[in-house]
Structure 1
């Protein structure tokens, strides 16, 4: 792991690429999805009881159809990854951890991510959690991977991994209602590809990273920008607290229910401030960039109705980022508020090809979410490095998942997602097949296809700028 460049991934990945994605093509087996689902009522709460360990190891090869001329090494990759979930229950406290890591052999890159790590008090209704923990703050935020409530790991943009918030959670949870309060003294932002300085550019060994342009037009003359990074002390970024509250009425498993959440928290994506492009006749301009933290007020509401295997959900989410004004001769990103709406239906098709297939149909509509670079006076700068906070803003998604067939008396599981974004006039298709020769081993084969109807329409949109990233992959997974 390269210390400096890995730190840059933590600090500036937020502005390297938008974080929202509705199609997660990663393999998630039931025993390795996260410690929050590991609770077993049959486990005895005894200090002498052994810890319960679950995990998976995966070896995968991935091939992109279109080479990148400047980085041919990114056409093919081999990844060895592992995930470990541990739950320990004692007579007076529970402890849990969910951690994953991986190594790209051809790139020499290694990452280690702590998804959840917490201790929890005992109690049937009231519990106190301390540490990093995932919670159901908002259906629209979780379903569409918006990353507004909880941060995300987006080393691979098509495999976003939701992370927990870090703090103390006071949770009173009954079957028909729930109240939860979270307070946190610290902030861990979303993480993206491993970004570094190289020859005046901000670069990353990833096909899902878009570097800021180095061309600056001044008086009909194109100047070349040389970027330099100025990383503030970690304490200035981490020491940013916040608070949030969530209430639920009704039982999500049946009948009508409603969830309302509100919070005052740091925006999970770090913003970027930079020196203003100076008026100069020189061919090269040196520009220093630095990450910064801003806060937002966030509110969300979900209303749903569940009947047998059918679940309908209508969701709303809004946030209002606080503007930050830079020092004189500096420019900073100003985030526009977001209003997001979603409607979804989840149901199961039984007895289709003798197997049950889970179906999800959802629609997302987002208003706002632009990014504007502003000066110290609050006026808009002539240049904006990144234009949008989210990848998708007007999308319809269909997802199918379940056991498709049986081969030699062993299950073949499939996962298919199709997303069409009307604002981008483009689509995204994710497919994955998993065949289990036995209970512990799975053979994996999948692919992802991106496309747009008009390559000249909104060239900076996610689907357009990454339309050459069609790929297929295969490998094996061992579950324990």
Structure 2
């Protein structure tokens, strides 16, 4: 018997998007891009799957963000040849906008916004959910709901409310005969055995999947106000009360004496938290510098029944100063991140303070990053658009190099590429981070894109 989990809640999301599309009386000018690309895992110690190379056919549908079209979207998908667990669909934006006058606009659907600069810069997924098909290269997805925006010369106000919630979209996985299938290199499988009486004992897993409506039908509300001049001093205050974009994972287990096997049941649950953010920045000529902070306060409600071993979340303060320079063609960005608190401990019969919790709240707790960006035109239709970043953490003991590039050969043809390379220390109970989990997943992607 096989049990397969797709992180996207397909039927409900499709119904919602269909409803939004029916609201749009005017068609949108959609740019369609087809892609053929190859993903290769180039680390000599790669062992997540038997294959090290995967071929994809993909497409992206995107509208111009600067037009007044009623319907807006940014939807991408891909099919992996012979590896269905690597297929993906990323609906990062899909919404309808209605402009009441030059100052007021309503949006309904899934829309990205800059709620907090720290969260957006570091792709932490605290405020907005993440598309984590590749956890080393997460992408922001918008919140789903009703947005009301007021734009005045020196301030902008946004109000948000929603009865719907979509969590982070992580890698797909499959459970077959109690074991996690080794079919997706981006899904980190839990231990396959435990030691009982000094003997390795296999574990059978069962995923207690919640009903989609129990996850999706959750309320959120928030607001933000930005004031000042974007070309000089600018500040923003924001607040939201919403479900966390990660689901809390509880577990229960026992030993089957007849088969000498461990049986572990996993149960995900939605939990709420409140977020308060503050951003301050100052721009002079081509230099912009600033400071972004965030207070993350999880609810302390009991969401698991007594028999489940479950996580307990600590409040966290996130801080990030930054400075950046750009002249239009080239740009440099330097930023630092510190997370104070935010630890996860477990309570229940199977909890062990000497063992790391099953889940973490943040991919890492401290880091510095330097990035180089370019948007360089060689001639009228030839342009190089790229970003190279280096992220280092002393506390979490890792280095991460990421490169993304697009070389436009003409108005319709492009060459595209991505690379991620990781060096990391060992994971321990006191050093849990998402980057080191993929230390053997160094990756190189090369492909071609055609726009029509």
TM-score range, shorter chain: 0.7 to 0.9
The alignment status of 1:370 with 2:339, answered yes or no, reads no
Of the structure 1 ranges 139-148 and 95-104, higher mean CA displacement relative to structure 2 is found in 95-104
Of the structure 1 ranges 164-173 and 104-113, higher mean CA displacement relative to structure 2 is found in 104-113
2:370 to 376, 391, 398: 398
The alignment status of 1:171 with 2:149, answered yes or no, reads yes
1:162 to 140, 145, 152: 140
Residue 78 of structure 2 aligns with which residue? Answer: 102
Residue 145 of structure 1 aligns with which residue? Answer: 123
For 1:135 and 1:417, how far apart are their aligned partners in 2? 23
Residue 176 of structure 2 aligns with which residue? Answer: 198
For 1:459 and 1:281, how far apart are their aligned partners in 2? 37
Once the two structures are superposed, residues 287-336 of structure 1 have per-residue CA deviations (whole angstroms, 9 ceiling, x without a partner) of 22121100001111101112232211200011111133522321122222
2:324 to 332, 339, 346: 346
1:442 to 414, 421, 430: 414
For 1:293 and 1:205, how far apart are their aligned partners in 2? 27
The alignment status of 1:478 with 2:450, answered yes or no, reads yes
1:273 to 250, 262, 272: 250
For 2:269 and 2:49, how far apart are their aligned partners in 1? 30
How much is the aligned-residue C-alpha RMSD, in angstroms? Answer: 3.1
Of the structure 1 ranges 397-406 and 232-241, higher mean CA displacement relative to structure 2 is found in 397-406
Once the two structures are superposed, residues 52-84 of structure 1 have per-residue CA deviations (whole angstroms, 9 ceiling, x without a partner) of 2223222111211236446212x1111222111
Deviation of the 1:358 alpha carbon:
1.2
Spell out the pairing of 1:50-69 with structure 2 (5 A cutoff).
Answer: 51-65=28-42, 66=44, 68-69=46-47
The alignment status of 1:248 with 2:247, answered yes or no, reads no
For 2:251 and 2:427, how far apart are their aligned partners in 1? 29
1:467 to 439, 445, 451: 439
Is the Cα–Cα contact under 8 Å of residues 144 and 164 in structure 2 kept in the other structure?
yes
Residue 18 of structure 2 aligns with which residue? Answer: none
The alignment status of 1:357 with 2:330, answered yes or no, reads yes
Query: Structure 1: where are the runs of 5+ without partners?
Result: 12-46, 351-355
Deviation of the 1:156 alpha carbon:
1.0
For 2:244 and 2:391, how far apart are their aligned partners in 1? 26
Residue 423 of structure 2 aligns with which residue? Answer: 451
Deviation of the 1:222 alpha carbon:
5.1
Is the Cα–Cα contact under 8 Å of residues 50 and 88 in structure 1 kept in the other structure?
no
Residue 16 of structure 1 aligns with which residue? Answer: none
Cα gap change, 1:369 to 1:53, in 2 (>3 Å): same
Spell out the pairing of 1:35-114 with structure 2 (5 A cutoff).
Answer: 51-65=28-42, 66=44, 68-69=46-47, 71-73=49-51, 75-86=52-63, 94-108=70-84, 109-114=86-91
TM superposition score normalised by structure 1: 0.81
Of the structure 1 ranges 124-133 and 295-304, higher mean CA displacement relative to structure 2 is found in 124-133
Once the two structures are superposed, residues 176-226 of structure 1 have per-residue CA deviations (whole angstroms, 9 ceiling, x without a partner) of 112211111011111111112124233463222211224345676654321
Cα gap change, 1:171 to 1:475, in 2 (>3 Å): same
Of the structure 1 ranges 393-402 and 275-284, higher mean CA displacement relative to structure 2 is found in 275-284
Secondary structure at 1:143 match in 2: helix
Q: How many residues align?
A: 432
Residue 5 of structure 1 aligns with which residue? Answer: 4
Cα gap change, 1:387 to 1:152, in 2 (>3 Å): closer
For 2:265 and 2:358, how far apart are their aligned partners in 1? 16
For 2:236 and 2:191, how far apart are their aligned partners in 1? 42
For 1:117 and 1:431, how far apart are their aligned partners in 2? 27
Spell out the pairing of 1:377-392 with structure 2 (5 A cutoff).
Answer: 384-392=356-364
For 1:281 and 1:130, how far apart are their aligned partners in 2? 55
Secondary structure at 1:235 match in 2: helix
Once the two structures are superposed, residues 408-459 of structure 1 have per-residue CA deviations (whole angstroms, 9 ceiling, x without a partner) of 994344421111111122211112443322122112344321113x447777
Secondary structure at 2:4 match in 1: helix
Secondary structure at 2:235 match in 1: strand
1:306 to 260, 270, 283: 283
For 2:313 and 2:197, how far apart are their aligned partners in 1? 28
The alignment status of 1:332 with 2:310, answered yes or no, reads yes
Residue 429 of structure 1 aligns with which residue? Answer: 401
Cα gap change, 1:346 to 1:63, in 2 (>3 Å): same
Query: Structure 2: where are the runs of 5+ without partners?
Result: 10-23
For 1:325 and 1:96, how far apart are their aligned partners in 2? 37
Is the Cα–Cα contact under 8 Å of residues 436 and 442 in structure 1 kept in the other structure?
yes
For 2:237 and 2:25, how far apart are their aligned partners in 1? 40
Is the Cα–Cα contact under 8 Å of residues 372 and 380 in structure 1 kept in the other structure?
no
Cα gap change, 1:57 to 1:189, in 2 (>3 Å): same
